[in-house]
């Protein structure tokens, strides 16, 4: 592939994606909004044909972010979530900033349809691939709250999750109870994790799930200072305690209601084993599986605590 040709293509993509900037700092992901492709008339090479990146054009980090954005868009297209007239490469800026493929394209209004946000903490675990297939089978997007220390050991798992369009939050670096830590330590736990994820994915997670769900007015205020909404849950699967697929399934199905946030941990094989029936049953009840950001229509505010779509925590 000629160098000049490669650069020309990149320039075209840059121009196209300018219309698509402005998508938030949330890690959220996926799904093209057809409107972002309105100006995308110029012919562009398919993702597979992109020339190798040159170090004088893009940093390694930018190159990774761009490649990821292309994979993400390809995934969306494979799942029929991309408008037919939008090509993945049209959505990707040379520096990857167009991970701009947002959940908005799904246009799910959780005030009108039965939404549920499935969340997975403490991982990613060793059965990520299996879980991603299960979710994909029912067109489900979920939200992961990974630990920085785990991500550092298995960055490829996190990339696979993000590539499939799921939302990535932040569950601290090493799972301390934040209420027992100083503000400085909270900052370190959150920021170190966010920086690692940003380095890997090109987008910085904003949602934080405090370990153990332990919060106080001080912790939440500190999270607010770090620009993070605190995401709790209303459906506790207790999967970490029971470690039994049937118990996990029953706990979830008994408690879930429209607008729920479901707490699960994908590091337990029993949780993975419970997922197919949980997903099938909820799909049969007409639930739509959304990310946490989708559940709130992108309206989450830093320094606030969320339990489910309608309730904010007022217990302080």
| Active-site residue set | 121, 265
C-alpha–C-alpha distance, residues 198 and 179, integer Å: 25
C-alpha–C-alpha distance, residues 87 and 119, integer Å: 30
Q: Which two tokens stand for residue 124?
A: 């990613």
* 156 φ/ψ angles, rounded to the nearest 5 degrees: -65, -35
Q: Which two tokens stand for residue 267?
A: 């590091």
Q: Which residue is nearest to Ni ion (CB)?
A: 121
For residues 206-245, which are near Ni ion according to CB under 5 A?
211
- Before 124, cis peptide (omega within 30)? yes
Would you tell me how many other CB atoms lie within 10 Å of the CB of residue 236?
A: 16
132-171 footprint of Ni ion as x/- string (CB under 5 A): ----------------------------------------
Count, residues near Ni ion per rule CB under 5 A: 3
Smallest distance, Ni ion to C-beta of residue 122, A = 4
Alpha helices in 202-256 (DSSP H): 217-225, 239-242, 245-255
Is 103 or 189 the residue whose CB approaches Ni ion more closely?
189
Is 121 or 308 the residue whose CB approaches Ni ion more closely?
121
Specify the residue for token string 């879930």. 256
Q: Which two tokens stand for residue 268?
A: 């337990």
Smallest distance, Ni ion to C-beta of residue 210, A = 9
172 torsion bin: left (phi>0), alpha (psi -120 to 50), beta (else): left
- Distances from the Cα of 178 to the Cα of 152, 182, 208, 213, 222, angstroms: 21, 8, 12, 9, 10
Is 122 or 294 the residue whose CB approaches Ni ion more closely?
122
For residues 281-310, which are near Ni ion according to CB under 5 A?
none
3-state secondary structure of 81: coil
Smallest distance, Ni ion to C-beta of residue 261, A = 14
Smallest distance, Ni ion to C-beta of residue 101, A = 28
Is 159 or 171 the residue whose CB approaches Ni ion more closely?
171
Smallest distance, Ni ion to C-beta of residue 213, A = 8
Taking contact as CB under 5 A, which single stretch among the options 58-66, 203-211, 267-275, 301-309 is the one that binds Ni ion? 203-211
Smallest distance, Ni ion to C-beta of residue 142, A = 15
Is 89 or 122 the residue whose CB approaches Ni ion more closely?
122
Is 95 or 122 the residue whose CB approaches Ni ion more closely?
122
Smallest distance, Ni ion to C-beta of residue 121, A = 4
Per the DSSP assignment, residues forming a β-bridge with 3 are: none
Largest CA distance in the chain: 62
3-state secondary structure of 25: coil
Cα-based angle 249, 252, 253 (whole degrees, multiple of 5)? 80
Q: Which one of 67, 89, 90, 121 is in contact with Ni ion (CB under 5 A)?
A: 121
Taking contact as CB under 5 A, which single stretch among the options 54-62, 90-98, 115-123, 136-144 is the one that binds Ni ion? 115-123
Is 89 or 121 the residue whose CB approaches Ni ion more closely?
121
Taking contact as CB under 5 A, which single stretch among the options 56-64, 96-104, 111-119, 205-213 is the one that binds Ni ion? 205-213
Q: Which one of 122, 239, 266, 308 is in contact with Ni ion (CB under 5 A)?
A: 122
* Closest C-alpha to 114, from 313, 281, 276, 277: 281
Instruction: Kindly list the residues in this chain that would bind Ni ion in the complex (CB under 5 A).
Output: 121-122, 211
């Amino acid at each position: 592939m000629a160098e000049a040709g490669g650069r020309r293509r990149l320039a075209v993509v840059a121009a196209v994606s300018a219309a698509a900037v402005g998508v938030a700092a949330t890690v959220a992901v996926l799904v093209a909004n057809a409107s972002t492709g309105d100006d995308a008339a110029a012919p562009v090479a398919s993702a597979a044909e992109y020339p190798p990146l040159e170090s004088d054009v893009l940093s390694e980090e930018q190159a990774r972010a761009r490649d990821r954005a292309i994979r993400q868009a390809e995934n969306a297209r494979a799942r029929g979530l991309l408008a037919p007239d939008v090509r993945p490469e049209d959505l990707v800026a040379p520096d990857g900033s167009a991970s701009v493929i947002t959940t908005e394209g799904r246009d799910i209004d959780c005030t009108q349809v039965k939404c549920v946000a499935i969340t997975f903490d403490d991982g990613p675990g060793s059965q990520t691939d299996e879980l991603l297939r299960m979710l994909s089978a029912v067109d489900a997007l979920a939200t992961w709250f990974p630990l920085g220390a785990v991500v550092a050991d298995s960055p490829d798992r996190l990339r696979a999750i993000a590539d499939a369009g799921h939302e990535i939050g932040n569950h601290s670096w090493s799972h301390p109870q934040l209420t027992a830590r100083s503000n400085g330590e909270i900052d370190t736990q959150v920021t170190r994790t966010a920086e690692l994820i940003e380095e890997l994915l090109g987008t910085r997670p904003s949602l934080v799930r405090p370990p153990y769900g332990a919060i106080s007015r001080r912790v939440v205020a500190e999270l607010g200072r770090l620009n993070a909404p605190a995401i709790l849950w209303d459906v506790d699967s207790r999967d970490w305690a029971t470690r039994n697929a049937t118990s996990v399934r029953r706990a979830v199905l008994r408690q879930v209601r429209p607008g729920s946030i479901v707490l699960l941990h994908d590091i337990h094989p029993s949780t993975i084993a419970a997922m197919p029936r949980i997903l099938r049953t909820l799909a049969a009840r007409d639930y739509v599986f959304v990310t946490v950001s989708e559940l709130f229509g992108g309206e989450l505010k830093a320094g606030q605590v969320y339990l489910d779509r309608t309730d904010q925590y007022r217990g302080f």
